[in-house]
Amino acid sequence: MDLALLEDKLVEAITKAATTIPKPTFEALKKSKERENGVAEAQLDVILQNIKIGSKKRIPICQDTGTPTFYVEAGSGFSNLKKVGPIIVRAVRRATKETPLRPNAVHPITGKNSGDNTGKNIPYIEWQIADSNELKIVYLPKSGGSENMSQLTMMPPAKGLDGVKEIVLDRVATMKGKPCPPTVVGIGLGGGSNIAMNLAKRALLRPVGVHHEERIISDLEVELKEKLNELGVGPMGLGGKTTVLDVKIEYAHRHPASYPVGIVPQCWANRRVPVFVSADGSIEVGE
């Protein structure tokens, strides 16, 4: 694998995430505009125009370019794996200058901004080992507005599925316009507190329109999307039929005495770009 090329491709992916949005998200926004009128339609029109300008001029579609987060799926036979982490850090530093990105890495005690989007545990990199000789890196930047609306509820298990639905509807309704709707809502069910929140964010890796492989979960995703869009929160919280673009659910088996429900919304930009490294060393930036 050409390590310098991997760094270049990661910079390309980071820039792509900041200046464009995935096609399924763009199409969902366009369809949402067709269903709206008045203020809601105007808000979606501004969002769509903003996306086109950012893409054309290669400038960020939002001033908050997010906290750099990477999900790495590494084949057990992939060589040079120990060098991937440092390459990701270098790519973030380069992209911060070259794209440019807003510096979003601040020390939690001193308040000092590192100036290059790197610092202790940032960029955040989550690793998974796969049975292959390939490498997949997905860049998922998360803005402050949507991240601040992330919530964990330790629900009494006796409330069951009806309790889950009630929690999701209540939490999204109270978020109003703070996460910059229409959002994609990631939901993590079960496991423990950390597992549920991790699953909720990982759920955002799935493109808009791609449902869970298990029917019982995909049916719940569709049902919640319909009910959330009946809340009337609307684009940017100003009212309308489109509060969410999609709902994504991941789950883990839970302790009998616990039922964690994690909710992590992603703003309308829904930024996400994968990089693929094949066994022969070729590298591709995906959609």
**Is the pLDDT score of 79 beyond 90?**
no
Percent of the chain with pLDDT over 90: 95
- The CATH number of residue 94's host domain is 3.30.360
- How many domains are contained in the chain? 2
Distance separating alpha carbons of residues 181 and 266, to the nearest angstrom: 8
For 154-200, the three-class secondary structure string (H helix, E strand, C coil) is ECCHHHHHHHHHHHHHHHHHHHCCCCCCCEEEEEEEECCHHHHHHHH
Q: How confident is the model over 226-244, as a mean pLDDT?
A: 98
Structure confidence at residue 233 (pLDDT): 98
Q: How confident is the model over 273-283, as a mean pLDDT?
A: 95
Contact 187, 200 (CB under 8 A): yes
Residue 131 and residue 94 share a domain: yes
Q: What number of other Cβ atoms are within 10 A of residue 163's Cβ?
A: 16
Residue 252 and residue 172 share a domain: yes
Q: How confident is the model over 238-247, as a mean pLDDT?
A: 99
**Is the pLDDT score of 78 beyond 90?**
no
Residue 28 inside a domain? The answer is no
Residues 6+ apart with CB under 8 A from 282: none
Question: Residues 169-200: pLDDT tens digits?
Answer: 999 999 999 999 999 999 999 999 999 999 99
Residue 44 inside a domain? The answer is no
For residue 147, give both structure tokens: 């991240």
Residue 33 inside a domain? The answer is no
CA distances from 129 to 150, 153, 206 (A): 27, 30, 19
**Is the pLDDT score of 80 beyond 90?**
no
Q: What sign does the dihedral 135-202-216-268 (CA atoms) show? A: negative
Residue 175 and residue 109 share a domain: no
Q: How confident is the model over 128-151, as a mean pLDDT?
A: 96
**Is the pLDDT score of 135 beyond 90?**
yes
Percent of the chain with pLDDT over 70: 100
Residue 133 and residue 97 share a domain: yes
Residue 158 and residue 129 share a domain: no
Residue 230 and residue 157 share a domain: yes
Q: How confident is the model over 202-210, as a mean pLDDT?
A: 98
Residue 236 and residue 112 share a domain: no
Residue 252 and residue 169 share a domain: yes
Structure confidence at residue 117 (pLDDT): 99
Domain encompassing residue 113 = 3-16+61-143+271-285
Tell me if residue 267 falls in helix, strand or coil.
Answer: coil
Residue 35 inside a domain? The answer is no
Residue 175 and residue 211 share a domain: yes
Residue 36 inside a domain? The answer is no
Q: What element of type H or E holds 48? A: helix 38-57
Residue 52 inside a domain? The answer is no
Structure confidence at residue 1 (pLDDT): 80
Residue 118 and residue 80 share a domain: yes
